[in-house]
Homo-oligomer: A and B are copies of this chain.
Amino acid sequence: MADFHLHPQLEADSVAVTDLALSSVRLINDSNYPWLLLVPRLPDLVDLIDLTPGERVVLMGEIGLACDALKAHVACDKLNVASLGNQVPQLHVHVIARRKKDAAWPNPVWGAVPPVAYRPEEAMRLSGLFAGFLSEAPRQA
């Protein structure tokens, strides 16, 4: 899609997983939490309601897939789903697997503790695992 450029901060904080119909899926490079990021590949999006109603439905389907991917591959007590964007204005949706023993529980993850980068081979392994799941998932939307 023309004119979409991933925000450099999102790019720096994460590694590519795969592209779904609307969103690029990325893995946040923080081993404190299994944490996927969905970034709709359309230009000039800030808020969720900058998407058309039809695009929002597609995004909801992709959020569901990201939730399913986390549940399938990591132990988790709760899923956190959020579109905040106060610091990085480009629309992005966090989908985070939370554990009752994780570094921030029960608080939100943002600003809780400094990120701990994955070893490169572990980031690659996880990215491949989620990419595999997402490529095989039935398209919901």
Residues of A within 8 A of B (CB): 46-49, 53, 56-57, 59-61, 63-64, 67-68, 71, 78-87, 89, 98, 105-108, 110-111, 140-141
Question: When the two chains form their complex, are residues B86 and A47 in contact, meaning their CB atoms are under 8 A apart?
Answer: no
Copies held by the complex: 2
Shortest Cβ distance from A61 into B: residue? B53
With CB as the reference atom, state the residue of chain B lying closest to A46.
Answer: B78
A121 to chain B minimum Cβ distance, whole angstroms, is: 30
- Contacts A/B (CB < 8 Å), 26 sampled: A46-B78, A47-B78, A47-B79, A48-B63, A48-B67, A49-B71, A53-B61, A56-B60, A60-B60, A78-B85, A78-B89, A79-B83, A80-B82, A80-B84, A80-B86, A81-B83, A82-B82, A82-B83, A82-B84, A84-B108, A86-B105, A86-B106, A86-B107, A86-B108, A87-B106, A108-B110
* Complex interface: chain B residues within 8 A of A110 (CB): 107-108
Query: When the two chains form the complex, which single residue of B57, B80, B108 contacts A60, counting CB atoms closer than 8 Å?
Result: B57
